[in-house]
Amino acid sequence: MLRTHTCGELNLENLNTDVTLCGWVQRSRDLGGMTFIDLRDRYGLTQLVFNMEDNPELCSRARELGREFVIKARGTVVERSNKNPKMPTGDIEIKASELEVLNVSKVPPFIIEDETDGGEDLRAKYRYLDLRRGIVRKNLEIRHKLAAETRRYLDRQDFIEVETPVLIKSTPEGARDFVVPSRMNPGEFYALPQSPQTFKQLLMVSGMDRYFQIVKCFRDEDLRADRQPEFTQIDCEMSFVTRDDILQTFEGLINHLFREIKGRDIGHLPHISYADAMRKYGNDKPDTRFGMTFTELKSTLGETDLTGGKGFKVFDDAGLVAGICVEGAAGYTRKQLDELTEWVKRPQIGATGLVYARYNNDGTVKSSVDKFYDENDLQKWVQAFGAREGDLMLVLAGEPAKTRKALSELRLEMGNRLGLRPKDTFQALWVVDFPLLEWDEETARWHAMHHPFTSPVPGDIHLLESDPGRVRANAYDMVINGNEVGGGSIRIHDKTLQQKMFNVLGFSPEDAQSQFGFLMDAFEFGAPPHGGIAFGFDRLCAIFSGLDSIRDVIAFPKNNSGRDVMIDSPSRISKEQLDELQINVK
Amino acid sequence: MLRTHTCGELNLENLNTDVTLCGWVQRSRDLGGMTFIDLRDRYGLTQLVFNMEDNPELCSRARELGREFVIKARGTVVERSNKNPKMPTGDIEIKASELEVLNVSKVPPFIIEDETDGGEDLRAKYRYLDLRRGIVRKNLEIRHKLAAETRRYLDRQDFIEVETPVLIKSTPEGARDFVVPSRMNPGEFYALPQSPQTFKQLLMVSGMDRYFQIVKCFRDEDLRADRQPEFTQIDCEMSFVTRDDILQTFEGLINHLFREIKGRDIGHLPHISYADAMRKYGNDKPDTRFGMTFTELKSTLGETDLTGGKGFKVFDDAGLVAGICVEGAAGYTRKQLDELTEWVKRPQIGATGLVYARYNNDGTVKSSVDKFYDENDLQKWVQAFGAREGDLMLVLAGEPAKTRKALSELRLEMGNRLGLRPKDTFQALWVVDFPLLEWDEETARWHAMHHPFTSPVPGDIHLLESDPGRVRANAYDMVINGNEVGGGSIRIHDKTLQQKMFNVLGFSPEDAQSQFGFLMDAFEFGAPPHGGIAFGFDRLCAIFSGLDSIRDVIAFPKNNSGRDVMIDSPSRISKEQLDELQINVK
């Protein structure tokens, strides 16, 4: 190695050692007859000191070094007079005796420190410089550790990692495929996998018993914020298991990751049914770092109604009246409440208005609907909400699904405003018992909420043909801090049930065969009961790094138009290439 | 879990335990009033026994089970009367008390045992059944272990695994790219990476210091035997290193892998120069499991000539006369030697003829060219070859490069015939000092033998412009048993040298910028000295599995036309898909 040590490891134990370090010039300061240079590498920063009196030639050369020059410096480890307790190497410095410039650098387009002056676009173009910033590099290190610990855990549990193909076959189901024209088979195309779903099921048919893979997947979707055309999954499948075996195995995985990487014990993951999650949080990926669960003043089935018969038409006409109780917020000003009302009325939230009721410290209730509800009525609300003096009740009303969605947004917003969603707190849970099917008004048929191979909950199978909408899927999502980080299901392995399922979905036997033929065929040769899960690895990395965007945990991400602005891709290709592939661009 | 144990773990220690196993019916035998079933899962085989006398209903149901039915069986572990020492579970059997059929199976299209009656095409179509065979599954298990141990070793050495993008940019250099039309950027294409070469160099510029990735790569080449359009690399790069640091690090890796997976110590890897490898083995990836190195009777530079002036025109006209000494083969019959002569004359070997000389046990030499060379001449050959009585000397002559190639093939063939190339012996070495450039007659210019970023050996830099053909590359290949398993180089990190290199390669500064612009730009911001290596992971797996073809170590391989015959891909895509991508098929 060109160096004897890295820039992150020297301390008082190394005093008087002759060392050679390599790295980048982070910062340079001249102070009297001395020049101090902070030398940076992946492992840390070490201060080099050059002395004009001792060695004017060397010190002069040091003074000529620019930011980001790559140097090799030799010297002796000495104790620092003004120690820097914030730096792991802050007790020492290197009294330099030799200096070699390994490479020069132009002035970088932005400052390469945690706090930078570079805008997002500039940093994207010079991503290789952005990655030099410790704060960015750290994310890739956490990602590496997450992958390594995932593999370690699954390996111990007898999972084997099997690479499935990237050049596969386009299928009409699911999102849009990226396709790859085949030169050897003109007019034909491969597709890039949206997930290795069928291959992992085939691996179960092949007796692989426990499979996993950390694998790139691809979806050609219009990129909403925080989607990437290529993303990474932790993809897993197991044979001879029930749902609870899978939940237990992957509760173990997530516990292992939090323990090894964050030093946290997140404990047992509670289960919540889809129905409860929607009722209590209005959301199938509830953020359970805080409470503020929904209270229904008027429930959809009418068992509860604390609002009717008082002449308030908005509530009387509503399918659902529900609200949240914001702790200690009774002091919100009229201005703040007006602003909140405007907030819930924004199109992306979609509420028609906001009703509030302050439960004052003196025990009285003051609401925006005092015209319709008297103190007695409102005290019933207080009881329903379980409110305490000083709390603020915020109530929405309308069509149940829309109301829940809006109230969920309001809950999250209030959580943010009250600081109840800290990035270093982690609450994980399982959401279970999803509906198997959803009715599509447009095509007037049932659609599989996950995919047609998802098994119903065993006790609901008898409803499949008589009352499809009530059948629950044997499916589950893992949710952390309001993010769906993983999801999966027990699969159908029985041919008769699979046939029934296709029937319910409106497939003719011919269509089923033409679309899912090779998997259906495989199922005829002894498919074991099996199920699995896939985790969104980028999202998991973002959560562990305390980041909102997955873009920050990807070394070379693409922008919202699917472009890599650093390498300027995609790009035109030559006529020869198109001719060889026998395709034309329109 | 549906089972209490796997089919590979029960033994005498589990006697009288009540167990439940799940798996596939491998074999079924009725013997007197008993029915024996071998139940198979990934972990092994366990014998179930059903007794017609004890439980006629159960036993009758067991008799109806077909091959590859998936069952769940409960019973008690009992000692076997006729133990099977070949099976890890062969001391016990399960006296069955319950039986549940989890899934039925059609009769499989071939026998699912190590010895099968299924031909290659049939097994490819039903790959998921082929993978049930222990002998095939074992290869994927070794592959998993190789990946896991590679990661473990590199992780310990501070390498971090960084995922580089799969959707990148097409470049005119190298092999043919697979391309992916971009829907969001009509008329433009991504390319799939042939290797992450530029990205790993950018990661070094970004200060990542030590990078690796086990990563899929893609080449749209005409598929010769044992090439796959998608293949896997162990891709690595390090900063602040010299060649020997890299060789040492990856000698460590390969030693680690052999130790952990094969329980073998393959020791220190010898270095051989490209020039020596060509002279001694006629091959830049010599199989060093056996000697039989070349002896030059007439060398290319004329220092040695034991053949001239005797009137044998074939040798007199030859640029090189060289041979191998085959130990103990003097007894080869005339018929065998004629057959060998025909063998070397086949077009794929390309020799014009074969001269042999037997060094008989009585000390005399008898050759096919006795007309030209007397006993005295031939004794000089014997000395040159270091032959011992009973050896056979085989000599080829002609244009040096062609002669070396043919003699290399002959050497490997004789190695095979003499059983000197056992699959469970491993000889690894480094080939170093490759030529940096090769002259291309067609375009009349120098080409980079690796790629234009490969650094010359430091001592040869001064020859770059004056005598480019003599410049050695600071490049290296790791060779095991005659297979190139990995290769890499120290890269150029100095802009002036890079410019010189492009100049020698005949690039205009504009062309250099347009083709390698973003990497060149990155090099201006403080690129550290760096170098790396990439291993062909499929080949490595094949060597560890004792297999000749990489296809056998890939879960779902493609055939020679790039087709996956199991899923029938590539395939036509819909007009809607083509329209969205704004492309036409010609």
Return the HEC string of A226-256: CCCCEEEEEEEEEECCCHHHHHHHHHHHHHH
The packing angle between helices B134-156 and A134-156, to 10°, is: 140
What pLDDT sits at residue B296?
97
- The sign of the dihedral angle between the CA atoms of A544, A548, A552, A558 is positive
pLDDT average, residue stretch B262-272: 97
Instruction: Give the confidence band of B468 by pLDDT, cuts at 50, 70, 90.
Output: very high
Average per-residue pLDDT in chain B?
95
Amino acid (1-letter code) at residue B554: I
B42 contacts A164? CB cut-off 8 A: no
Give me the sign of the Cα torsion angle B457, B460, B463, B469.
negative
pLDDT digits (tens, 9 = 90+) for A438-491: 998 888 889 888 888 899 999 999 999 899 999 999 999 999 999 999 999 999
Kindly identify which residue of chain B lies nearest to residue A209, measuring between CA atoms.
B42
β-pairing, B210-218 with B160-161? parallel
Give the three-state DSSP class for B417: helix
ipTM reported for the complex, 2 dp: 0.95
Residue-wise pLDDT tens digits, A194-215: 999 999 999 999 999 999 999 9
List the structure tokens of A218: 């691809």
Distance CA A238, CA A19 (A): 52
Window A:219-238, CB contacts with B under 8 Å: 220, 222-223, 229-230, 232
Pair A415, A537: CB distance under 8 Å: no
Distance from C-alpha of B143 to C-alpha of B152, rounded to nearest angstrom: 14
Spatial distance between the Cα atoms of A198 and A206, rounded to a whole number of angstroms: 12
- Give the residue on B whose Cα is nearest the Cα of A5: B240
Q: Are B407 and B281 in contact (CB under 8 A)?
A: no
- Band the pLDDT of B41: cuts 50, 70, 90: very high
What lies within 8 Å, CB to CB, of B314 at 6+ separation is B352, B353, B355, B397
Would you say residue A173 has pLDDT above 80?
no
8 Å CB contact between B50 and B90: no
**How many CB pairs below 8 Å do chains A and B form together?**
354
pLDDT of residue B339: 96
B194 contact partners, CB below 8 Å, separation of at least 6: B174, B175, B177, B217, B218, B219
Chain A residues 472-501 with CB within 8 Å of chain B: 493-494
DSSP A289-341: TS----EEEE-TTSS-BSSTTSS-HHHHT-SEEEEEEETT-TT--HHHHHHHH
Tell me the one-letter amino acid at A491. Answer: R
In this structure, are residues B531 and B241 in contact, taking their beta carbons and an 8 Å threshold? yes
Asked if residue A93 lies in contact with residue A84, where contact means CB atoms within 8 angstroms, the answer is: no
Scanning B503-542 for CB atoms below 8 A from A yields 518, 522, 524-529
CA B269 to CA A338: how far, in whole Å? Answer: 77
For A250-306, write each residue's pLDDT tens digit: 999 999 999 999 999 999 999 999 999 999 999 999 999 999 999 999 999 888 999
Search chain B and give the residue with CA nearest A129.
B206
Quick check: B220 pLDDT over 90? Answer: yes
Judged by a CB distance cut-off of 8 A, whether residue A305 touches chain B is no
Burial B102-124 (b: 16+ CB within 10 A, else e): bbbbeebeeebeeebebeeeebb
Q: Chain B residue closest to A525 (CA)?
A: B105
Nearest CA-CA distance, residue B202 and chain A, Å: 6
What is the model's pLDDT at position A312?
Answer: 96
Structure tokens at A16: 């008087």
Residue B407, pLDDT above cutoff 90: yes
Contact A554, A538 (CB under 8 A): yes
Q: How far is CA B282 from CA A399, B279, B321, B485, in A?
A: 81, 6, 12, 18
CATH fold, domain B12-103, is OB fold (Dihydrolipoamide Acetyltransferase, E2P) (2.40.50)
Q: How confident is the model at residue B64 (pLDDT cuts 50, 70, 90)?
A: very high
Helices B509-522 and B197-205 pack at an angle, to 10 degrees, of 50
CA distance B471 to B270: 22
CB interface of A with B, residues 56-75, below 8 Å: 68-70, 72
Provide the pLDDT confidence category of residue A153 given band limits of 50, 70 and 90: very high
Question: CB distance A525–B558 less than 8 Å?
Answer: no
Minimal Cβ distance to A189: which of B168, B554, B571: B571
Using an 8 Å CB-CB cutoff, list chain B residues near A205: 128
CB contact under 8 A, A70 and B581: no
Predicted TM-score (pTM) of this structure:
0.95
Nearest to A567 among B203, B208, B518 (CB): B518
Question: How far does B471 lie from chain A, in Å, by closest CA?
Answer: 23
For helices A134-156 and A243-257, give the axis angle rounded to 10 degrees. Answer: 140
- B516 confidence band (pLDDT: 50, 70, 90): confident
| End-to-end Cα spacing for chain B | 54
- Domain locations in chain A as residue ranges: 12-103, 138-271+429-553, 290-421
Structure tokens, A312: 């308030």
- Angle at which helix A537-545 crosses helix A134-156, to 10 degrees, equals 120
Which chain A residue is nearest to residue B136, measuring alpha carbons?
Answer: A206
Q: Which residues contact A523 (CB under 8 A, 6 or more apart)?
A: A205, A493, A495, A498
Cβ distance of A103 and B494 shorter than 8 Å: yes
- Angle at CA A226, nearest 5°, toward A220 and A230? 40
pLDDT at B493 over 90: yes
* Residue A225 predicted with pLDDT over 90: no
> Is-contact A60 A54, C-beta < 8 A?
no
The minimum CA-CA distance between A304 and chain B, rounded to whole Å, is: 42
Residue type, A566: M
Helix axes B495-504, B509-522, angle to 10 degrees: 150
Asked if B168 and B190 touch (Cβ cutoff 8 Å), the reply is yes
What span, in angstroms and rounded, lies between the C-alpha atoms of A147 and B160?
10
DSSP-assigned states of every residue in B292-340: ---EEEE-TTSS-BSSTTSS-HHHHT-SEEEEEEETT-TT--HHHHHHH
A494-515: b (≥16 Cβ within 10 Å) or e: beeebebbbebbebeeeebeee
Answer whether residue B172 shows pLDDT above 90.
no
Helices (H) and strands (E) in chain A, counts: 15, 23
- Classify domain A290-421 at the CATH class level: alpha beta
- Whether residue B350 lies within 8 A of chain A, CB to CB, comes out as no
The DSSP bridge partners found for residue A396 are A322
Nearest-by-Cβ selection for A525 from B106, B186, B554: B106
The pLDDT of residue B93 is 97
Range of A219-223, B115-119, B297-301, B323-327 with top mean pLDDT = B323-327
Q: Specify the long-range contacts of residues B140-144, CB closer than 8 Å, at least 24 apart.
A: B140/A160, B140/A162, B140/A208, B140/B553, B140/B555, B141/A160, B142/B261, B142/B541, B142/B544, B142/B545, B142/B553, B143/A162, B143/A163, B143/B541, B143/B545, B143/B553, B144/A160, B144/A161, B144/A162
Phi and psi for A26 in degrees, rounded to 5? -85, -40
CB A148 within 8 A of CB A154: no
Q: A580 touching B, CB under 8 A?
A: yes
Cβ–Cβ under 8 Å, residues A312 and A372: yes
Provide the strand spans (E) within A339-391.
355-359, 365-367
Res. B551: pLDDT tops 80: yes
Scanning B386-508, the segments in alpha helix (DSSP H) are 400-417, 495-504
Q: Which numeric CATH code is attached to B138-271+429-553? A: 3.30.930.10
Mean pLDDT of chain A: 95
CB contact (8 A) between residue A144 and residue B162:
yes
Read off the pLDDT of residues A360-380 as tens digits, 9 standing for 90 and up. Answer: 999 999 999 999 999 999 999
Q: Is A235 annotated as a binding residue?
A: no
